[in-house]
Amino acid sequence: MSAVSTRHLVDEAVVRGTAVLGFNVITLEHAEGIVAGAERAGTGVLLQLSENAVVYHGRRMRPLVAACRELAAAASVPVALHLDHVREPALIDETIDLGSAAGIGSIMIDASTLPYDENVRATTEAAVRARAAGLWVEAELGEVGGKDGAHAPGVRTDPREAAAFVAATGVDGLAVAVGSSHAMTTRTAHLDLELIARLAAAVPVPLVLHGSSGVADDDLRRAVAAGIRKVNVGTALNVVWSAEVRRVLDGDAALTDPRRYLGPAREAVAELVEHLCGVIAVPHRVSPGLAAVDGLEGYSRDTKL
């Protein structure tokens, strides 16, 4: 199975009335775990590199992109590569320059903290160039001047403004604020399902849910049924990853071989990815051994958050 485009996965989700899962990559082990979990579930996924992850790697995007591209090419399921929450103009330019030739299928241009008119202007300019390079383009409509963009506490996306934003910018997908929040380590977010349905009716492009780590399984299913077509997951992977590293290191104070603790962390990521693929992309399929842990409400096999 060769790497595929983001557009292919999203279009397939639209036709099927389901959603494609995008999982954040920080290290090579993250990416390996994500692909392994997707293969077990038999489901296509997105490997997502955020601007923060690129900054963590010294702003050298190409090595991590190349590694993800090779994993995607070798995977037994369709895997696409997405650049997420890109704000820096230089990084937007580099992503567009690399484009599909480097295996990149899409970019999220994040100007959501800017006032509305500036968001439209910045997003439109970058979107024109990105689409010309063959990329599927996502954007976020945020609070005017909001520090946390569309996911500031209490912020909700207005359907009429969302429709106008998509028409003005020509983006292919829109991240909307419907009650989730980034970096949640508990699954206690309350989604406005009625608003999701209104947005889906008003906006002619697929809707994207950010902050999905804080959303319980049943609400993720309901969000997809209401019209969400791309679901981003990041923090949840890091929760199970860190829990496994702590568990292994706490059990052996003399341990120095990183393979001994990164391996279990990678496996924890794979198990969670398989589970979430079953929740969203393959209805009613649940990973054996995980379903018994209270619906994975704490994202850990043995630890509650």
The token duo for 241 is 């990853």
User: 11, 84, 172, 302: which is the annotated catalytic residue?
Assistant: 84
Residue corresponding to tokens 């006032």:
115
C-beta separation of 41 from 282 below 8 A: yes
In three state form, how does the secondary structure of the chain look? CCCCCHHHHHHHHHHHCCCEEEEECCCHHHHHHHHHHHHHHCCCEEEEEEHHHHHHCCCCHHHHHHHHHHHHHHCCCCEEEEEEEECCHHHHHHHHHHHHHHCEEEEEECCCCCCHHHHHHHHHHHHHHHHHCCCEEEEECCCCCCCCHHHCCCCCCCHHHHHHHHHHHCCCEEECCCCCCCCCCCCCCCCCHHHHHHHHHHCCCCEEECCHHHCCHHHHHHHHHHCEEEEEECHHHHHHHHHHHHHHHHHCCCCCCHHHHHHHHHHHHHHHHHHHHHHHCCCCCCCCCCCCCHHHCCCCCCCCC
In the residue annotation, 84 being an active-site residue is answered as yes
**Phi, psi angle pair for 136, to nearest 5°:** -80, 135
Tell me the catalytic residues.
Answer: 84
